Each structure stands twice: as C-alpha cells, then as structure tokens.
Structure 1
Amino acid sequence: MYSKSRKLRSRFTFSALIFIIVTVSAWGGNGNKAAAASASAQPDPYRIVALGDSLTAGYEHGFTVNSVPYGYVEQVYEQALFHGLRAEYANYGIIGLKTEGLKLLLQAASDGRTVKPDEIQEQLQDPRKDTLVGQTAQMAKSIRSADLIVLTIGGNDLIPVMSKLLDGATNEEIATYIQAVLNQYEKDLETTIRTIASLNPKAQLVMADQYSPLPLPVLKDGAAQLRSKLDQVSSRLGTDGIKLQIADVNSLFTGHEVEYTSIAQGDIHPNRLGYAAMGQAFAKTIWGDYRTVRPRSAGSQMSVVVDGKELAASAAPPVLRSNRSFVAMRDIIDALGTGAKLSWSNASQSATITYNGHKVVFTINSAYVVIDNNKVKLSTPPAFLLKTGKESKTYLPLAALSEALGLQVTYRSTLQTAFINK
C-alpha cells in the first residue's frame, strides 16, 4: 500500500495520532476467549499472531479512541472459528512501520532485548508505539507458541515516491529510487522471515502482497515489482525449508480501489469492504475457502456454528436476551452429536445434559445451574420456555451451557454469530 500526496499523508498522520486502535494483551486481542467453568484440561488453543503495519493494525479512515478495529486479522480469527478451532489471537500491527523497522523489532525480540521506538524506526506514527515496541518479550513468546502467523509489510517503504513525484523528479530518477528501495526491502524481508522461522519453525506463515490505491503507472509498476521481490524471497526461503505463503490481495483490489479504500476521503487505507477482501484472500490461502453463515430468516436474531457446522434452520431460532445468546435445547444437543445426552423432568421443569464427562442441570426461571453436582449462580438470564407455534421450546443460555461442558463459546457481534468449538 503506497502513500498519497503530502496533503493526504499529513491528514493521515494527524488522524493516526488522535486514537488508539486496541490494547494488545498476551493472547486474545478482541478474541473474547471464554474461560472454562470446569478445571478439567482443555485442548490447546489455535493461536494466531499478526505482525506488520497499519493494515495489520486494522486502521481505517475516521477511527477515534472509541473505535474497535475490524480488519483482516479479525476476519482471519473468525474464519478459524468457522473451521471449528478454539482460536485466539494477538495483534502486534504498528501504524507506519517499515520493513526495516519490523526486522529490527523482531531481532530484538529474538535476542531478548527491550528497545525503544526510535531504535527501530524514527518518527513512528502509532500512538501505541511505546507499548507495542516495548513488549518484545511477550511478542517473542507469542510467536513461539503460534500456529499461524500473518503479516503485511512493505507499503510504507515507498512513501517517499510521492514526494519525489511532487518535487518534479524524472521517471528515470524515480525508477532508480524504487529499485534501490525494493532491493533493500528484499534483504530486510528475508531477514525478517528467517527471524520469525528461527523463533517458530512450525507455524504456518502467510503474508499479503501490496495493492496500489492510486491510478499512477509508477505505483502500479512498483506494486508489481514488490510482488516479484516477495516471490523471490519466498522461493529462496523454500529451499531452506521455510514455507512463506502469499495471500494475493493486489488482484482483488485492482479495479476496485475506490470501492475498497477510503481514497475518495483522502485516505489510502482499506475500508470495511477492503478489509473483507483481504480477509478472503488470507482465508483462501490458509484454509482453501472462505466461510459465511446462511442468510437469516426474518425475525432471526443470530446464527450458531458448532464445531464448524452451522445449526440447521429451525422453527426455534437462536435468540438474544439482555445481549446474551440463548438456543433451543434440542437443537444444541443434536449439534453436539454423539456423546451428548438430554433428559427432561416435567416435575421439576429442569433439563439435564451430559457431555464430555460433565453433567449440567438447568431449571426453568432459576438463577442457578448445577454443574457436576455444584450449584453455581448464573451470570446470564435463566433458562426459559418460549412458545413457537403450538408448542413451547426450552431455551438455554448458550455461554453457560457451553462453558459448563468444557466447550469454547465466542459471540461475534460483527457476524451476529455464536461459535461453539470442542
């Protein structure tokens, strides 16, 4: 992703300095990882680490201190949930980061050194730079335990091209400059990937190519040359057993620059459509497909995906109460499949579910649930009966049920979908 004119660049710099995208935690970011209610051992999570520049950070035009990013990283995380994975993620994207800066940051992480922002790159634009750059120990730990590492980098390397164009540089001078930058990019990128691989040789590593948001031949040519350098690096790494996969973002943006970016508002970053396109490119590279839920019927408030499979259409669709998810008892038991058993007591108006070595008892309108013979106060509204057609259906609080059974439950408001993974 390349820079625009000085005016547009200064506008971005100002907006970047007035907001904080997200506070990065040890694991989870915006992952909303559910805490297990039981002390029994849980499967290892599928860990995603995101590295790179503002595209990884999820920056888009108009962000404020109250904005929550929904960039390609968040969509990769959602796709992991769609594939039945107990996913969580850590996002270390830094606004304005160049390839050399990422190289130096990762070298410090690998060496166990703490660095300051100016030691990796002068005048970083990200208001979170002290926090992000200062946590090299946590970054190294995250990389070492990752199953998937995704990154974007390289667009900021060519920021001076626009300045040279505005200053009247000849095409030959610009071409010479771009070639010098790309040669250095190639060296820095290869060092960066080798450092990541040394920290974690087993993680799947996927990087995006770059799109050009402005219809200028020199920038279009630069994007093509950058992709060529990326391919060369990937090929050399492959001979040493390091697999770097490339997500083809550029082809999706070509012809859709105005539609997929905020260039009309003076900002070259992707908008929601652009980040969705990036998410699709990454998902197809990682898993070979891109998944969505079925269109919901009128009156249906949410979708539920269990172990990678969406609940079948039902006369008793999932509902939200007090911002909590509830599902029809029989539907969720059927979705869990073999091993899940259900019994209903008319006398006590209670449902007993056994699964995965646990037994959970819900009573209609009770503020308590019994988990493995222990009475626990619900943090959600209680189970209830809801009349659908001529019969009443028992609805259970999804989070309480899933956690009590040792499952991971994650609700994504962006998709109006709850994911339950075993």
Structure 2
Amino acid sequence: MQRFFKWVSALLLIVVIIGGGWFWLQHQPSSDSASNKRPIILKSVKVVGVGDSLTQGIGYDNDHQGYLPILRQQLRQDYYVKPKTANFGIGGQRSDQIDRRVQTNKKLRRALRRADVIAVTAGGNDLLQGLEKNILVNSDAQMTQKMLPLKNEYQQKLTQLMADVHEVNPRAQVYLFGIYNPVYVYFTNATMISTAVDQWNQVNRQVADSQSKTHFVDVKSALTYGQYRSANAQAKLKAENQQNDQAFINPATVEKLLQTQNNKEKNVYLSTEDHFHPNKKGYNVMATRLSHEIQNNVKWPKR
C-alpha cells in the first residue's frame, strides 16, 4: 500500500510539472509578437525646398527658415523616418529665375537628385511684377485684357520649371504651393488684386495636375483670409474697411502698408515686419498642408 501511494504521488507530480510547463508555454510571446517589439529602423528621407521667399522663410522672425523646420518636426512625429531638409529659396525670384537655378546650379541639382520630396514655391513675384506694370488701369475689363498674356506667359514658364525639376529627379514626389493675397484684409473689395491672385493660383493648380508625381498644395484660403473665413467675419471686415472699399486702389497706399513695420497686423498668419510674408503661424499652415499632401502619396511607416 505504501508503494501504491508513492506511485500515485509521483504520477501527480509529473502531471503538475507537465501542466505547469504547458501553462508557461501558452503565456510566452509568440515569435511574431517578439519580432514586433524589435526597434524599427528609421528610414532616411530627404526633402528639398526650392523657390522664392516663401521657401527661404522671409517674414518668420528674419530667421530665413520658413516652413521646412516645422515640416521636419511634423514628419518625425508622424512617421518612423529621419527627415533631412535643404532650403534653396531666394527672395524676389520669378519662376524663370528659379528655373535657371534648377538648370545650372550644381549644388541645387545634386540636392534635387537625392531628394525623396521636392517642394516648390513660385508665382508670387511673377504676379507682383505684372500688377505693378498695370496698376493704373481703371476697370476689370482692362485689367483682364492686360493680365491675360502675362498669365499665359507665366503658365508656360511654370510648366517648364516643373518639367525641369522632374528631369533632374524623375522618381521624387513634387509639391507645388499655391499663392495668396497678402493685402486682402486691408483692401477687401480690391477685385483687381483678388481676381489676379485667383487666376495665378489656378495656373499653379493646373500645372500641378498636368504633370505626373506633382501635387498642388492649397494655402490661399488660410493665408488670404486669415481668421476672417466665415461670411459674417468677412462682412464685419468690409465694414471696418469702408475707407478702402474700392475695386481699384492707389498703388502708393499698398506700398505704404507694406513698408510699415509695427506690431499690428490684421491677418494672424502674416508677419508684422512687412504685412506680406507669413509669420510662424503662417509657415506652420504651409508645413501642415504640405504634410497632409505628402501623407496621400508616400508609404512610410506611421507611428
């Protein structure tokens, strides 16, 4: 009998050991889940900005960095990537001048060839020079007649610019920013400016849509209207601007505004330095809109 109890006890001990081992195995992480915990290797991505003062970063505390550092931070937060940016913006340049750099500047071409993302700002200076030449016309019909050949010429130049960018790097995704009306909040009824901005902005969209791997980044509404986006806010703004509520404005009035440096600016997205370029909040809008467009066209691992 004593041997029988020893045999039963040994059998129970074996059952407990086997059962405990089975329980332990069932609660161990699978090889798949263990592999999921391995650190993800950060993908290196290169973003190159080329264009005018909106790429250079004028207006943002004079640091000349603009939207690219903000974009770099956003990409780092949203994806498992190690973003590197390069800024090739020069203030005051027209689309043909930017294109000339794309064709001839060795450092820029080398950066473009290595880029995964290329962002372009162009058109503001083309439009500004066209308006300066025709600012004294006194009807919408005259303005349309004067601006039409300039708009067509600009479309040809911008198309060539984007084609040359793609020639340097056919694999990169290219993003073309739209333009905005920086003086809208002061001259809400200046139709000759608003109409011209709308037309130039449409050219940028059409050129982007006409070329492969090219995407339009719309910033017009946010940077033009600022905090006055609703119908009620715009009506209130027009009431405040009754003294400037005319379709055709004296260019000296606009020039005086742009040369005034103070801490007051009606549009919360524009700089008090020149009432023209974005401030930090405005460049944040540009970075965020660009980031959203990038999200639609890349397959980077998301956080």
TM class, shorter-length:
0.5 to 0.7
CA distance in 1, matches of 2:65, 2:200: 26
Q: Does 1:105 align with 2:101?
A: yes
Match of 2:69 in 1: 74
For the pair 1:230 / 2:204, whether they are aligned, the reply is yes
Structure with greater Cα Rg: 2
Check conservation: 1:81, 1:308, Cα contact below 8 A: no
Mean Cα deviation higher: 195-204 or 250-259? 250-259
- TM-score for both structures, normalised by structure 1: 0.47
Q: How many residues align?
A: 215
In structure 2, the residue matched to 1:205 is 174
- Determine which of 249, 252, 270 is the counterpart of 2:278: 270
Residues 9-35 of structure 1 deviation map (CA, whole Å, 9 limit, x = unaligned): xxxxxxxxxxxxxxxxxxxxxxxxxxx
CA distance in 2, matches of 1:284, 1:247: 9
- The answer (yes or no) to whether the contact 2:179–2:200 under 8 Å persists in 1 is yes
The structure 1 residue matched to 2:127, chosen from 134, 138, 158, is 158
- For residue 220 of structure 1, what is the amino acid of its counterpart? S
**In the superposition, relative to structure 1, how do residues 272 and 160 fare at CA in structure 2: closer, same or farther (>3 Å)?**
same
Q: What RMSD over aligned residues (CA atoms) do the two structures have, in Å?
A: 2.4
Aligned-residue offset at 1:96:
0.5
- Contact kept, 8 Å, 2:59 with 2:273, in 1: the verdict is no
For 1:265 and 1:144, the matched residues in 2 are separated by 35
Q: What is residue 37 of structure 1 aligned with on the other side?
A: none
- Residue equivalent to 2:52: 53
Structure with greater strand percent: 1
Report the AA paired with residue 212 of structure 1: N
In structure 1, what is the equivalent of residue 18 of structure 2? none
Corresponding residue number in structure 1 for 2:291 = 283
For 1:276, the aligned partner's letter is N
Following superposition, the deviation at residue 102 of structure 1 comes to 1.3
Give how far 1:176 is off: 2.3
What code does the residue aligned with 1:229 have? V
Distance 1:308 1:228, change over 3 A: closer
* CA separation of 1:141 and 1:71: change in aligned 2, threshold 3 A: same
Work out the CA distance in 1 between the residues paired with 2:275 and 2:72.
Answer: 26
- Mapped pair 1:86 → 2:82: yes
1:252 partnered with 2:222: yes
Give per-residue Cα distances to partners, 1:73-122, cap 9 Å, x unaligned: 222211221212111111100110101111222122xxxxxxxxxxxxxx
Q: What is the percentage of aligned positions where both structures have the same residue?
A: 25
In 1: Cα distance, 2:222 partner to 2:182 partner: 12
Higher relative contact order (CA 8 A, sep 6+): 2
Kindly report structure 1 stretches of 4+ aligned residues shifted beyond 6 Å: none
SS at match of 2:54: helix
Tell me which of 191, 194, 215 is aligned to 2:163.
Answer: 194
- C-alpha spacing 1:176/1:280, structure 2 compared with 1 (3 Å): same
Mark the CA change 1:163 to 1:188 in structure 2 (over 3 Å): closer, same or farther: closer
Higher-helix-fraction structure: 2
After superposition, residues 149-188 of structure 1 pair within 5 angstroms as: 149-164=118-133, 167=136, 170-188=139-157
**CA distances 1:192-211 after superposition (whole Å, capped 9, x unpaired):** 11111111111111111111
CA distance in 2, matches of 1:234, 1:162: 24
